[in-house]
Amino acid sequence: MSGALDVQSLSVTIGSARIVRDVSWSVAQGQTLGIVGESGSGKSVSVLSAAGLGPGNAEITGAVVLTGSDGVQHDLLSMGGNALRRVRGRRIGFVFQDPATSLNPMLTVERQLTEGPEVHLSMTPKQARGRALELLELVGIPDPERRLKAYPHELSGGMRQRVMIAVALACEPEVLIADEATTALDVTIQAQIIEAIRDLQERLGTATVWITHDLAVVGGIADEVVVMYGGEVVERAETVRLFQETKHPYTRALFESRPHLGSRAERLLSIPGSPPDPRAIPAGCVFWDRCSVRADERCRTEHPELVEPTDGHWVRSFYLPEDA
Amino acid sequence: MTTTVEAHLPAAEPQSAPLLTVEDLHVRFPVRGGGRRQWLHAVQDVSFTIGRGQTVGLVGESGSGKSTIGNALLRLVPVHRGSIRLGETDVLAADRRTITDVRRRMAMVFQDPLAALDPRSTVADSVAEPLRIHRIKPSGGRRARVTELMDLAGLPKRFLDRYPHELSGGQRQRVCIARALAAEPELLILDEATASLDVSVQSQIMNLLRQLQDEMGLSYLFISHDLASVEHMSDRVLVLYLGRIMERSPRESLYESPGHPYTQALISAIPLEDPVAERERRRIILEGDIPSPVDPPSGCVFRTRCPLAIPECSEDLPPGQDLGPGHVSYCIRAGEQVVPD
Amino acid sequence: MSTHPNPDVTAEPERTAYEHVVPAEGPRGWRRVATELLRRPVGVASILVLLGVIVLALFGDWLAPYEINDINIADRLQSPNAQYWFGTDELGRDILSRVIASSAVSVRVSVIAVSIALVVGVTMGLLAGFFGGWLDSVIMRSQDVLFAFPEILLAMAIVAILGPGVTTATIAIGVVYIPVFARVTRASTLSVRTETYVRASKSLGAGPWRQMTSHVLPNISAPIIVQTSLSLSFAILSEASLSFLGLGVQPPEPSWGRMLFDSRAFFQDAWWMSVFPGLAVFLTVLACNLLGDILRDVLDVRSAATAGGGTR
């Protein structure tokens, strides 16, 4: 099934740093894909590069295909400046981590919301304003008439993030990319925002890519999860499967190394060492030096490919546990 | 007006003289606002103690005042009212020499290890700084002591002459921990010490901290917004909101029987481990935003977002209600469970 | 997942065959600065010019072909030729020798003046920026007063009080440059003062003195160094201006500015009397400025940090 956004064998390299290597995933209309990874995993770089927002001096290979609601396909990596900007502005919405720096502090909320529709949807200012009000209501901002005139610094963190979401959705994009969208928010606000996005997604059917380091967050909102480590996809599966039948030792370790409320553990499982330097990617399994399993001799010398031991569940590992 | 410490130091607190006693702490900052001088009330009526070898956790979101409390202990911010005693020493009244000694006996580990280390100092220089400040000359020499501290913090010797930007996040935080331990403090203030680290590294650091506490009998004040981490690390937990204590509880009862609606909301905001259950359950969602600490709500400061709020909540500060040994909830309706909608 | 490696506490796993290969760090600290400088042709050229000036300043006496004050009326106003490479002035003195000798004066005056400005200005800026409050107001208002005077006017006022001469000119230039150092230092201090590592140092028990000297000063050295190199070039110009006005170096001692002063009457007929000293000023000032610009780029802390490829 071709999804709204299809990424095939994406690799991103800057000089000798191989930041992203052979990453493939896709997300369909109405679905949410969670991409989980820590720093150095390449999760943000891969998604942003796919959308043409990657680092300027990077070499990007692979294929990224965006399928619009009109069925037209766009090969993002081969598109040049203006064409890419048009497609991206119209069809992909972005929500970033820090609304303080992502929203223009000099523009009112209204201005930020109407800009997109005026440019990409050819709306008149009056129409665009109407749309802006709609959007504010959509994201659950109370008293939208008054908020239109506000500047970002006059709003609270949670409110700003909602405005960001509204801006992202202004042109009715096919794809929504949320990069650590709730990381900087307080826990109770985070819960609000996650609920809001979940709700929106059901209503609008946008394909959503949710990038985060927090595995637990994707548990509640993603249909499929991709786990990245050291620039590669190490596991990919439908969410419940990933949680209940975890196959990759890294994913396992991620689950088990977090403190759980109510548990009595004295010691946390921890993963020794740190992620690899992208300039020095080892020859064998990229997780080998921190892995506590190391079941197979090949782990150290041979690079494991992605295999599919059970339907729809992909793992990059020589060690394949029989069962959860 | 406020609850006094004597009435509400729960029975479960240490019987021997506590290492640190904080009473009725009030911290406020001036705010330039239009014409009138206004105050931002960062911390109000906070009292607690920490015993030797114990960990007390402070949990709260932004504006809760948790970091300000940590800063106040070291007198890094001016304190409006209240008292802080480290053993016999009155921290707030201390003169130059005494406060320097207080800063030897208590040390802080900051949230961002990269920012907390002088970019132009090597690891060895940073770790040795407390030795220089307090003129400590170990018998084996300072370099040897630094190496010992690096070892305690799990850092290889070859990092001694490296600069902070050459290390990873977790390694940098270990350097900060080594530095904090250099002058043999009695209490460490961990101000969101794991928040900016990768998940896989956070557990390393938490394990390290536990190990050091066991080996050295250190006390900790563990400040974090992450309830799970706080609960894991602490013997007792204080839940803060807008500068005030909402609930104080021994670790065990916090999760099992949270007695304050805010605590329940915090717990509810944490995603469940089981994705199926997570999707099916209803969360407690707090409406609205955290009010401004410049003009906190009257009576109970949480009432504007509280699902259990009743008109009486706006009248007086809620008294503490005992819910068990060492477990106090500052709520008129303490102990009632919020039903998610 | 039955076996866990033992050091779940240490930063390095025990059983690793991977060397944690991080490409060897390039040279650090001053070596890196030097390497960067030498990599740029402009940097190399500037350094060579300045080295040349310093050599001339130190060894001018031996290098100059003629005595600088050898009056030789018979050879007066000769255009550049095989005997007098730069020609002679109205008293028959060799221009080349005088240009060489002048370098000593210029170097001495600018270095001493900038040193005065540096020591006083940085101290004031550091105190003002670090402590703030009334100290800041007092210090910076005094700097504002100094700064408000046009440079030449202020120098002239000081010279008028102390009498003309090289020493006076040096002091005057030094005083005039204090505000710029104070401002640069104060601005940098203000931004560094709030950095976490300074707060951390205070939390560990460090007093203001240690915070300022161990943490603030080293981290604001870059803009100060850049300002120093720029000020050196301006000081040379200032000295030339003062001498041109007759307020600095007094005859018969030569200085580039003095030589320009003396060449006024002969501007049209003996171009060599003004062009060569002028060129000397121009080249030296240019070299200082270019070096200052390059140093600013090279000493940028951010590029120093990313050179090592810092991770999260």
B330 domain residue, yes or no: yes
Class of the CATH-defined domain C42-67+87-304: mainly alpha
Query: Looking at A208-217, B112-121, C41-50, C248-257, which range is the least confident one?
Result: C248-257
Tokens of residue A235, six digits = 């596991």
Q: What is the DSSP letter of B242?
A: T
Tokens of residue C277, six digits = 């000293």
Tokens of residue A144, six digits = 């939208």
Q: Strand, coil or helix: what is C309?
A: coil
Q: Which chains touch C (3 or more CB pairs under 8 A)?
A: A, B
Q: CB–CB of A177/A92 below 8 Å? A: yes
| Mutant choice from B120, B168, B199 vs C, greatest count of C C-beta within 10 A | B120
State chain B's mean pLDDT as an integer. 90
Task: Provide the shortest C-alpha distance from residue A238 to chain B (in Å).
Answer: 11
E strands, B178-304, in order: 187-191, 219-224, 236-241, 244-250
Contact A252 C16 (CB under 8 A): no
Q: Which chain C residue is nearest to residue A292, measuring alpha carbons?
A: C4
Radius of gyration of chain C (CA): 26
Query: Looking at B1-5, B190-194, B245-249, which range is the least confident one?
Result: B1-5
Q: Tens-of-pLDDT digits for all 324 residues of chain A?
A: 346 899 999 999 988 889 999 999 999 998 999 999 988 888 999 999 988 888 888 889 999 999 888 888 888 888 888 888 888 888 898 998 877 778 888 888 888 888 888 888 888 888 888 888 888 888 888 888 888 888 888 888 888 888 998 898 888 888 999 998 888 788 888 888 888 888 888 888 889 999 998 888 888 889 999 999 999 999 999 999 999 999 999 998 888 888 888 777 778 888 887 788 888 888 889 998 888 887 778 888 889 999 998 889 999 998 877 643
Q: Quick check: B278 contacting A, CB < 8 Å?
A: yes
pLDDT of C277: 87
> Checking DSSP bridges between strand A207-212 and strand A175-179, what pairing results, if any?
parallel
Query: Looking at A265-279, B313-327, C17-31, which range is the least confident one?
Result: C17-31
Chain B residues close to A258, C-beta within 8 Å: 199, 202-203, 228
Handedness of CA A219, A225, A229, A235 (dihedral sign): positive
Domain ranges of chain C: 42-67+87-304
| Mutant choice from B166, B174, B199 vs A, greatest count of A C-beta within 10 A | B199
Bridge partners of B46, per DSSP, are: B25
Q: How many CB pairs under 8 A join A and C?
A: 58
CA A199-A190-B63 angle, 5° bins: 145
Q: Mean pLDDT across the stretch C135-151?
A: 90
**How many domains is chain B partitioned into structurally?**
1
pLDDT of B8: 44
pLDDT of B341: 65
Region of A147 on the Ramachandran plot (φ > 0 left; ψ -120 to 50 alpha; else beta): alpha
User: For the residues of C205-236, what is the DSSP string, one character each?
Assistant: T--HHHIIIIIIHHHTHHHHHHHHHHHHHHHH
Task: Provide the shortest C-alpha distance from residue B246 to chain C (in Å).
Answer: 28
Angle between helix C95-131 and helix C221-244 axes, rounded to 10 deg: 140
With bands split at pLDDT 50, 70 and 90, how would you rate the model's confidence at B1?
very low
Q: Mean pLDDT across the stretch B324-338?
A: 91
pLDDT of A3: 63
pLDDT of B92: 94
pLDDT of B182: 96
Q: Which domain holds residue B304?
A: 258-341
For the stretch B255-269, pLDDT in tens is 889 999 999 999 988
Q: Quick check: C1 contacting A, CB < 8 Å?
A: yes
**First vs last C-alpha separation in chain A:** 28
SS (H, E, C) chain A: CCCCEEEEEEEEEECCEEEEEEEEEEECCCCEEEEECCCCCCHHHHHHHHCCCCCCCCEEEEEEEEECCCCCEEEHHHCCHHHHHHHHHHHEEEECCCHHHHCCCCCCHHHHHHHHHHHHCCCCHHHHHHHHHHHHHHCCCCCHHHHCCCCHHHCCHHHHHHHHHHHHHCCCCCEEEEECCCCCCCHHHHHHHHHHHHHHHHHHCCEEEEEECCHHHHHHHCCEEEEEECCEEEEEEEHHHHHHCCCCHHHHHHHHCCCCCCCCCCCCCCCCCCCCCCCCCCCCCCCHHHCCCCCCCHHHHCCCCEEEEECCEEEECCCCCCCC
B309 domain residue, yes or no: yes
Q: Show which residues on chain A lie within 8 Å of chain C, measured between beta carbons.
A: 16-17, 39-40, 249, 252, 267, 269-270, 272-277, 279-280, 282, 288-290, 292-293, 300
Q: CB–CB of C236/C277 below 8 Å? A: no
* Alpha-carbon distances, residue A12 vs A19, A57, A179, B84 (angstroms): 6, 10, 18, 54
Least CB–CB distance from C11: residue in B76, B115, B171: B171
B276 domain residue, yes or no: yes
Chain C residues close to A280, C-beta within 8 Å: 20-23
> Which one has a higher pLDDT value, C169 or C305?
C169
For the stretch B123-151, pLDDT in tens is 999 999 999 999 999 999 999 999 999 99
pLDDT of C6: 35
pLDDT of C187: 95
Q: CB–CB of A139/A166 below 8 Å? A: yes
B321 domain residue, yes or no: yes
Q: How many CB pairs under 8 A join A and B?
A: 126
Chain C residues close to A249, C-beta within 8 Å: 1
Which residues, in sequence order, are CB contacts of C60 under 8 Å at separation 6+?
A: C100, C101, C103, C104
Q: CB–CB of B160/B146 below 8 Å? A: yes
Rounded CA separation B338/A312 (Å): 40
Q: Quick check: C194 contacting B, CB < 8 Å?
A: no
Q: CB–CB of C129/C136 below 8 Å? A: yes
CA B225-B227-B233 angle, 5° bins: 105
pLDDT of B4: 40
Chain C residues close to B133, C-beta within 8 Å: 204-206, 210
Which residues, in sequence order, are CB contacts of B119 under 8 Å at separation 6+?
A: B163, B164, B165, C197, C219, C301, C305
Handedness of CA B103, B71, B171, B206 (dihedral sign): positive
ipTM of the complex: 0.88
Chain C residues close to A252, C-beta within 8 Å: 1
Share of chain C above pLDDT 70, in %: 87
Q: What is the pTM of this model?
A: 0.85
pLDDT of C26: 54
Chain C residues close to B183, C-beta within 8 Å: 204-205
Q: CB–CB of A175/A91 below 8 Å? A: yes
Chain A residues close to B271, C-beta within 8 Å: 216-217, 219-220
Share of chain B above pLDDT 70, in %: 94
Q: CB–CB of B249/B12 below 8 Å? A: no
> Checking DSSP bridges between strand B219-224 and strand B187-191, what pairing results, if any?
parallel
Contact A257 B169 (CB under 8 A): no
Chain B residues close to C11, C-beta within 8 Å: 154-156, 170-171, 174, 204
With bands split at pLDDT 50, 70 and 90, how would you rate the model's confidence at B177?
very high
Respond yes or no on whether the N-terminal peptide bond of residue A309 is cis (omega within 30° of 0): no
For the stretch B46-75, pLDDT in tens is 999 999 999 999 999 988 999 999 999 999
| Mutant choice from A156, A159, A188, A198 vs B, greatest count of B C-beta within 10 A | A188
Task: Provide the shortest C-alpha distance from residue B341 to chain A (in Å).
Answer: 13
Q: CB–CB of A232/A23 below 8 Å? A: yes
Contact B133 C206 (CB under 8 A): yes
B302 domain residue, yes or no: yes
The answer on pLDDT for C29 being more than 80 is: no
E strands, chain C, in order: none
